[in-house]
Amino acid sequence: MQMDAQNLAFRDSVFDMVISRNITWVLENPERAYGEWLRVLKPHGKLINFDANWFLHLRDDTARRNFEEGQAAVVEHGFELKESDHGEELDNIFRELPLSCCWRPQWDFMTLANMGCEEIAVKFSLPKGLYDEYYEQLYKTIPTFMICVVKAD
């Protein structure tokens, strides 16, 4: 089924697990999405979200320097740096997304804790091989993370 992740059409407490990958960063109201995902989980259900600070480098100097280090690593490993395939217009859109100014997964952890979640785990070192060697180097300074929550009773 296709629907808005921030406004799910499901009843409360119907799923054992909700898994999300690389969607939260692009939502206009990611906190609402977390609320919806928790709403549709059964008690003791698990929420697993994979994401990263994909565009924090557009708004934060430290993240920009980290991103530039990733670009330099790409070149040092013998790859030609690929031009951005989204251009300035999309960069402007990405820059305005709510999570493009947040350090993550810290934001996710605090948001979920404020929603009453108590069992929250974050994993930073995901298995090798998620990306080809080019993107392994480019994204090493903005690693993908996994955050896992067990819904309370």
pLDDT per residue as tens digits for the range 28-55: 999 999 999 999 999 999 999 999 988 8
- Taking residues 61-86, what's their average pLDDT? 87
Most confident of 7-11, 91-95, 99-103, 129-133: 7-11
Q: What is the pLDDT of residue 103?
A: 93
Q: What is the pTM of this model?
A: 0.88
pLDDT per residue as tens digits for the range 77-114: 999 888 765 678 888 898 899 999 999 999 999 999 99
For residue 100, give every residue at least 6 positions away whose Cβ sits within 8 Å of its Cβ, in sequence order, or none: 25, 54, 55, 56, 58, 59, 94
* 136: its two tokens: 């392994």
